[in-house]
Amino acid sequence: MDVTTKNFDSVVASSPKVLVEFRSQHVVHCMLQRSVVRKIEDQYRGRFKVITVDVDDSPSIAVRYNVTDVPAFVVLAGGRVVNRADGLQTQSDLRILLGRG
C-alpha cells in the first residue's frame, strides 16, 4: 500500500504492526526490492501491514524516521520503531526483521 504524508499517520494508527518500506522510483535498487516486498506482504497479511513511502513524494516522513538512503525498512509496533534495516534486503532478511518486531 502506497502512503503519503496525508494518510501515513492514520494508516499506522489503524494497524498494530507495520513494515514501512522507504523507496524512490529513481533508484534501481528500490525497483529490484519490490518483488521481495510483495512476497513478504502476502506472507504476513493479517499480521503486519506493509506500506510504501516514496521519499521523493513524502520527504517529511523520511526525515521523521531518519531515513537517509533507500531502500530502507522500519518496523513499527503501536506506532513506535522496534526495528530497522537499510539497503537491499532478501526475503529471509525481512522475515528476521519482522520477527524482532
| pLDDT of amino acid 1 | 85
| Predicted pLDDT of residue 50 | 96
pLDDT exceeds cutoff 90 at 96: yes
CATH code of the domain covering residue 83: 3.40.30.10
Residue 80: its H or E element: strand 80-86
> How large is the average pLDDT for residues 3-30?
94
- Percent pLDDT > 70 in the chain is 98
Q: Is 70 exposed, middle or buried (0-12, 13-18, 19+ CB in 10 A)?
A: buried
The C-alpha cell of 1 is what? 500500500
How much is the pLDDT for 57? 95
Check whether 100 has a pLDDT greater than 80. no
- Residue range 25-45: average pLDDT? 93
Q: What average pLDDT does the segment 24-50 reach?
A: 93
Structural domain of residue 93, as residue ranges? 2-99
Rounded-to-10 torsion of CA 19, 3, 23, 32: 80
